[in-house]
Amino acid sequence: LNKFPFNLIGVPTEPFLIPTRKLIPPLGGVDISPIIWVGIFSLIRELLLGQQGLITMMR
């Protein structure tokens, strides 16, 4: 993650992924922390902007 193309993704995402890795260690050598964060952001987006989301219903 210290070389050029990889640090563009590594630097902004590692502060989120490190605590998640401490809670849920890699399973069988596979890091699932990015999948967990994608799920969290997807849930938040759906709660706010989905068909019956909070922001959608305010309009």
List pLDDT tens digits, range 18-57: 999 999 999 899 999 999 999 999 999 999 999 888 888 8
DSSP code at position 27: B
Tell me how far apart the alpha carbons of residues 59 and 47 are, in angstroms, rounded to a whole number: 15
pLDDT at 20: 94
Tell me how far apart the alpha carbons of residues 15 and 32 are, in angstroms, rounded to a whole number: 15
Name residue 13's amino acid. T
pLDDT at 58: 84
What interhelical angle do 33-49 and 4-23 show, nearest 10?
A: 80
Confidence of residue 3 (pLDDT cuts 50, 70, 90): confident
Say yes or no to pLDDT of 1 above 80. no
pLDDT at 2: 80
Domain boundaries, the chain: 4-58
pLDDT at 18: 94
